């Protein structure tokens, strides 16, 4: 456990604070229609579909976890019957990623949740979360959990708390900056300075 105070992060790496949140019973959900022109559907993802939506949702927030995976590893994950994938479609294009992972121990992880810039702030996030909560608690789970980090949207933490999740743990994650390893373009998320 690092001591109190400031700690150096090597150049080329970044550090984020990760907050873990959970809910242990289904919360009250305020019913909400999908925004005009937006439809919700389950997807059987191909590698190309998944990587495309992951990048279009996540590049602004430096999501890179799944971009590290080779075809075989990601392909296995996408075929895993314990994982479900959903999106929101507008004007013929998929603009959101919702990934639920039903774990063998009875927990369900909201593994990825996000909208592209086209849908942010339209009510689509709340609509998608309502679907996530319904789909997760339709199964005999004991806990729904997720994490969010300080590179994610500043709206995310409050949004999750309003959704009925309670923060219960905090971690520091250190990793190679994905803009330097080639996983993401160098000009992604310019609000987070690149220290090389
Ligand atoms: C986090 C995220 C999903 C939040 O989505 P959002 O677009 O801000 O969410 P919404 O616009 O649906 O909701 C914001 C609030 O405004 C309300 N709202 C906004 N526009 C609305 C509209 N047109 N009609 C009704 N309600 C509306 C929502 O109901 C919601 O209120 P509530 O939380 O009290 O229910 C979104 O910012 C996002 O995808 N960010 C990028 C990826 C990311 O950081 N993901 C989280 C990683 S862990």
* Lookup result for tokens 């409050």: 158
What percent of the chain is modeled with pLDDT above 90? Answer: 98
Distance CA 176, CA 100 (A): 26
Which structure tokens are listed for 74?
């990601």
Distance 86 CA to ligand 1 centre (A): 17
Residue nearest to atom 21 of ligand 1 (CA): 123
CATH homologous superfamily, domain 30-176 = Gcn5-related N-acetyltransferase (GNAT) (3.40.630.30)
Counting from 1 in the atom list of ligand 1, the atom nearest the Cα of 124 is 12
Burial of 159 (0-12, 13-18, 19+ CB in 10 A): middle
Pocket test for ligand 1, best of 121, 128, 173 (most atoms within 8 A of CB): 121
Residue 155 has pLDDT above 90, yes or no: yes
Average pLDDT, the chain: 97
Question: 164-196, pLDDT tens digit by residue?
Answer: 999 999 999 999 999 999 999 999 999 999 998
Measured distance CA(65)–CA(183) in Å, rounded: 10
Q: How far is CA 146 from CA 12, 18, 57, in A?
A: 27, 10, 17
For the chain, the domains span 30-176
Each residue's pLDDT tens digit, 29-74:
999 999 999 999 999 999 999 999 999 999 999 999 999 999 999 9
User: What pLDDT score was predicted for residue 103?
Assistant: 98
pLDDT greater than 90 at residue 2: no
Name 196's Cβ contacts closer than 8 Å, sequence gap at least 6: 11, 12, 177, 180
């Amino acid at each position: 456990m690092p001591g109190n105070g400031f700690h150096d992060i090597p150049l080329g790496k970044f550090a984020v604070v990760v907050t873990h949140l959970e809910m242990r019973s289904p919360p009250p959900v305020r019913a909400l229609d999908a925004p005009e022109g937006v439809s919700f559907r389950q997807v059987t993802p191909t590698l190309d579909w998944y990587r495309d939506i992951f990048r279009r949702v996540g590049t602004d927030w430096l999501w890179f976890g799944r971009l590290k995976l080779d075809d075989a590893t990601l392909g296995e994950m996408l075929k895993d019957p314990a994982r479900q994938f959903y999106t929101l479609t507008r004007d013929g294009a998929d603009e959101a990623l919702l990934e639920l992972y039903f774990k063998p121990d009875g927990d369900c992880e909201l593994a990825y949740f996000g909208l592209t810039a086209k849908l942010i702030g339209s009510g689509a996030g709340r609509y998608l979360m309502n679907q996530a909560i319904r789909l997760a608690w339709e199964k005999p789970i004991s806990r729904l959990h997720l994490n969010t980090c300080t590179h994610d949207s500043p709206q995310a933490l409050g949004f999750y708390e309003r959704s009925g999740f309670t923060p219960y743990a905090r971690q520091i994650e250190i990793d190679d900056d994905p803009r330097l390893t080639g996983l993401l373009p160098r000009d992604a998320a310019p609000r987070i300075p690149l220290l090389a």
